[in-house]
Amino acid sequence: MGTPDQENMAIQMVGIYKYFGPYCALENVNLDVKKGTMHAILGENGAGKSTLMNILYGMSKPDAGQIFINGKLLDIKHPKTAIENKIGMVHQHFMLVPTFTVAQNIMLGKELTNPFGILDFKKANRVIEELSEKYNLLIDTKKKIENMSVGMQQRVEILKALYREAEILILDEPTAVLTPQEVKDLMLTLKTLAQHGKTVVIITHKLNEIKQVCDFCTIIRRGKNINSVNVNDYSEQQLVSMMVGYDMDLKINKTKAIPKDVVFEIDNLTVLDDRGIKKVNNLSLKIRSGEIFGIAGVDDNGQRELVEAITSLKKVSSGTIKIKGLEIQNTTPQNVIASGIATIPEDRHKEGLVMNFSVTENLLLKKYKENPLSKHGRLNKQKINDFADSLIKKFDIRPPECKKRLVRKLSGGNQQKLIIAREVSEDPDLLVAVQPTRGLDVGAMEYVHRELLKQRDLGKAVLLISLDLNEIIDVADKIAVIYNGNIVKTFESAATNENEIGILMAGGGK
């Protein structure tokens, strides 16, 4: 084995097929990655990128196809085989034990011990420190993971792979949870790795990252190879068109907002979490009708507690929340809904939908008590069907005959459309949208953004909370940055940029 061409290839995946039941997740997918290059795998959510990489790392078994690493045919049945062949992977959801220290996490599975199996932390710390100096990844080896920022945790993950002498490093959506500054650091790190001759594979759907650091790009759409290209030869626009399969505008056509009166107001709000720690700390904001108020911030800076306080799922310890002058803190969710607040929750599976209910039943969740859908506690099937039909049509929930279908069988995008349909049809004064495009593909994302803008133009107040800074910048009219439970600063969206917000998100405003 081993033609000169194959010798040059770090990874060759040939004719990979993978089925989940009758559903074909990967169909005859090929991937060639040259040694020492940075290679992006571009595709929408659910296109099969992660599945392909999980197969390469031995987390998932292909139904057909061959894998060559450095020209050698391998049967990778288990991550162990992948590690032995110097493949490392940084998973999207970090594989770190939160209660362990950095050193413990890095060592796990390849422990440094004396001959009796007793752990040698001194040696481990030394080895890790050497690695971190070599690749410029500074870290405190004795710190526990649960006390570290997401960016630092990712650093631990990269060190974990390097500690196992990985020559090929796979990163699954590495920037999804990082602040812009952390993204910059990561990109630098990846360049350093490439300089040391490592092969880097990045799974992503963010084009600017690909343009910044990658040499090659393989595009996958619906489980099929679309193209493999040299990144420099194509524009972002061309890449995105290949990814989604049609010509698409990257920018949303946003008209100018015409804000009117203040309808929603929070004053000096403080909310504690279950452990009694202040998560929302003396926070105030005002939202006018006809504007989208975006809150940007790194995860776990009080966003969840803020939403739970607004929707009365959590008790407020001080401060007021007012809609159209009416105080609604510490009441019941039912009263909150009745006073004109609708919510697109963060987790559609757990909070937004009853997964084992049909589409119709889910659409009915807020309206079941209302005349004419029910009378004297009895549901009117005919009226309910008409109601469901009209919403399915109006909001283009697909497939069109999905009325009786269980919600869990719908795609993520259509599940989100269902939630939007249900919430918007309440005709609220304030629409709270929390991470409304999380896990959606580009098409569905565009739909959600257009819908938010439409609600704005209908004169609603919209509160958009998202970890995706690009989303906030694209959609919101006003941008507030939340840090440690407090709004650090509020901008008109035209008057700021990604950098400025990024610094504030990371706590640089103090």
Partner 1 sequence: MNNVILLLAGTLMHATPLLFAALGGVISESSGVMNIALEGVMTFGAFTGAAVAYASNSSWLGFFIAGLAGALLISLHAVASVTFRADQTISGTAINFLGPGLSLLLAKKLFNGSALSPTAPKLPILFPKNLTERWRGTPFENLNISVGVVIAFALVLLIWFLFYHTKWGLRILATGQHPAAVDTLGVNVYVMRYICVICSGMLAGFGGAFMSLSVTSSFSPSTVCGQGFIALAAVIFGKWTPHGVMLSCLLFGFAKECTTILGGEGTFIPPVLLEMFPYVLTILVLVLFVGKSSVPKANGVPYLRGAR
List of residues contacting partner 1 (CB under 8 A)? 54, 57, 59-60, 78-80, 82-84, 89, 91, 93, 95-100, 104-105, 107-111, 113, 117-119, 160
d(CA 223, CA 203): 14
Angstrom distance (rounded) from CA 43 to CA 226: 10
Instruction: Please state the length of the chain.
Output: 510
Q: Which is nearer to partner 1, 37 or 85 (CB)?
A: 85
Token digits of residue 272: 């504690």
- What phi, psi does 391 have (nearest 5°)? -70, -40
Is 4 or 115 the residue whose CB approaches partner 1 more closely? 115
Separation of alpha carbons 109 and 89, rounded Å: 15
- Taking the least distance from each CB to partner 1, the nearer of 53 and 231 is 53
Token code pair at residue 184: 């910059």
We find the least distance from the C-beta atom of residue 85 to partner 1, in angstroms, to be 11
Exposed/middle/buried for 500, CB within 10 Å: 0-12, 13-18, 19+?
A: middle
DSSP E strand stretches across 126-277: 168-172, 199-204, 216-221, 224-230, 262-272
Q: Which of 442, 462, 165 is nearest to 340 (CA)?
A: 462
Nearest distance from residue 148's CB to partner 1, in Å? Answer: 15
Which CB atom, from 107 or from 257, has the smaller least distance to partner 1? 107
Cα distances from 53 to residues 25, 28, 510, in angstroms, run 12, 14, 41
Comparison of 92 and 282: residue with beta carbon closer to partner 1: 92
CB of 83 to partner 1, least distance (A): 5
Q: What is the nearest approach in angstroms of partner 1 to the Cβ of residue 472?
A: 26
* Of residues 229 and 272, the one with the C-beta less far from partner 1: 272
**Token digits of residue 241:** 């068109």
Q: Alpha helices, DSSP H only, in 245-364?
A: 303-310, 333-338, 359-364
Instruction: Tell me whether residue 144 or residue 286 sits nearer to partner 1 (CB atom).
Output: 144
- Nearest approach in angstroms of CB 318 to partner 1 is 26
Residue 32 has a CB neighbour count (10 Å cut-off) of 18
Nearer to partner 1, 87 or 433 (CB): 87
3-state secondary structure of 102: helix
- Taking the complex as a whole, the smallest distance from the CB of residue 118 to partner 1 amounts, in Å, to 5
Q: Which of 321, 336, 228 is nearest to 269 (CA)?
A: 321
Q: Is 268 in a helix, a strand, or coil?
A: strand
Phi and psi at 151, nearest 5°, equal: -60, -40
Integer Cα distance of 483 and 213 in angstroms: 30
3-state DSSP assignment of residue 190: helix
Residue given tokens 């609600």 in the structure block? 455
What is the closest distance, in whole angstroms, from the C-beta atom of residue 317 to partner 1 in the complex?
22
Shortest separation between residue 99's beta carbon and partner 1, angstroms: 6
In whole angstroms, the minimum distance from the beta carbon of 505 to partner 1 comes to 27
- Cβ 218 to partner 1, closest distance in Å? 22
Report long-range pairs for 142-147 (Cβ below 8 Å, ≥24 apart).
142/101, 142/102, 142/103, 143/101, 143/102, 144/98, 144/99, 144/100, 144/101, 144/102, 145/96, 145/97, 145/98, 145/99, 145/100, 145/101, 145/102, 145/105, 146/98, 146/99
Q: What are phi and psi of 485, to 5 degrees?
A: 80, 10
Q: Which two tokens stand for residue 370?
A: 């209302």
State which residue, 410 or 430, has the beta carbon closest to partner 1: 410
Minimum separation from the CB atom of position 111 to partner 1 (A): 4
Measured CA to CA, the distance from residue 463 to residue 389 in angstroms comes to 28
Q: Which is nearer to partner 1, 99 or 470 (CB)?
A: 99
What Å distances lie between residue 91 and 23, 289, 398, CA to CA? 24, 41, 32
Residue 502: CB minimum distance to partner 1, A? 29
